[in-house]
Amino acid sequence: MDLINEQKAEKFRKLFKQESFKQFFNTRSEISTLYTLLSEEEVDALVEENTVFIRSCSPSSRAVLKDIEENHVLNLINFDQDFYSELSPEEFIGVLLHEIAHVLFGEANYPNHMDAEYIADDFANKKGFGKYVISSLEKGLKNKWLGFTEDSCNKRISMLKENPLPTFGIDY
Ligand SMILES: [Zn+2]
């Protein structure tokens, strides 16, 4: 691994302060794949925004995070482990990319809530995961997952379908 990649890997590791996140969520190489999809600048921005991925379990759980730096902000991207097996690896990565985009582009900058959603979906789409964001939204609608409202999911699906980009498949 060259120096640049070593630095990127070092910064990426900082995003996972909860040991069990990677153990639990990398069984199909999703986190390793996510690493390859993000540029060093994007990883830098996530570190700057004090972003931490945490694993949660319904209905309630505790996460222990060590070495939290004092900062102006703490961005927690959480994923409920009970939904992990419901999603394919690509759908899971698509969801993580969407949440990462919310950190990178900020939600407060978009007075219209849907614009922030479109921008987050567009980021996942540009990384080759638009198709999988669509299928995760369809799953959420079909299974009536909390937060998957018909109106906003359908708007996001049609926006993504207007801008199809090459898809990315992972080996696992
Ligand atoms: Zn969102």
170 found inside a domain = no
27 found inside a domain = yes
What is the CA(85)–ligand 1 centre distance, in A?
A: 20
Which residue do the tokens 């990127």 mark?
Answer: 8
100 found inside a domain = yes
State residue 72's pLDDT score: 83
What is the CA(122)–ligand 1 centre distance, in A?
A: 11
Cα–Cα distance, 58 to 80 (Å, whole number): 7
Q: Which domain range does residue 61 map to?
A: 3-161
What is the CA(140)–ligand 1 centre distance, in A?
A: 13
Token code pair at residue 56? 């949660």
What is the CA(69)–ligand 1 centre distance, in A?
A: 26
State residue 171's pLDDT score: 63
What is the CA(116)–ligand 1 centre distance, in A?
A: 7
171 found inside a domain = no
Q: Which stretches of the chain score pLDDT less than 70?
A: 1, 169-172
State residue 148's pLDDT score: 93
State residue 10's pLDDT score: 94
| CA distance readout (Å), 78 to 58, 62, 81, 95, 156 | 12, 11, 9, 11, 21
Total of domains in the chain: 1
What are the residues facing 79 on neighbouring strands? 55
What is the CA(3)–ligand 1 centre distance, in A?
A: 34
- Compute the radius of gyration of the chain from its Cα atoms: 16
The DSSP output letter for 147 is T
> Cβ of 60: how many Cβ atoms within 10 Å?
6
What is the CA(165)–ligand 1 centre distance, in A?
A: 19
User: Interhelix angle for 130-142 vs 89-105, to 10°?
Assistant: 100
State residue 58's pLDDT score: 86
168 found inside a domain = no
State residue 46's pLDDT score: 97
What is the CA(117)–ligand 1 centre distance, in A?
A: 5
Alpha helices in the chain (DSSP H): 3-13, 19-25, 30-37, 40-48, 81-84, 89-105, 113-126, 130-142, 150-162
Q: How far is CA 73 from the centre of its chain?
A: 18
166 found inside a domain = no
State residue 172's pLDDT score: 56
Query: Residue 162 burial (CB < 10 Å; 0-12/13-18/19+)?
Result: exposed
What is the CA(102)–ligand 1 centre distance, in A?
A: 7
State residue 107's pLDDT score: 80
What is the CA(25)–ligand 1 centre distance, in A?
A: 20
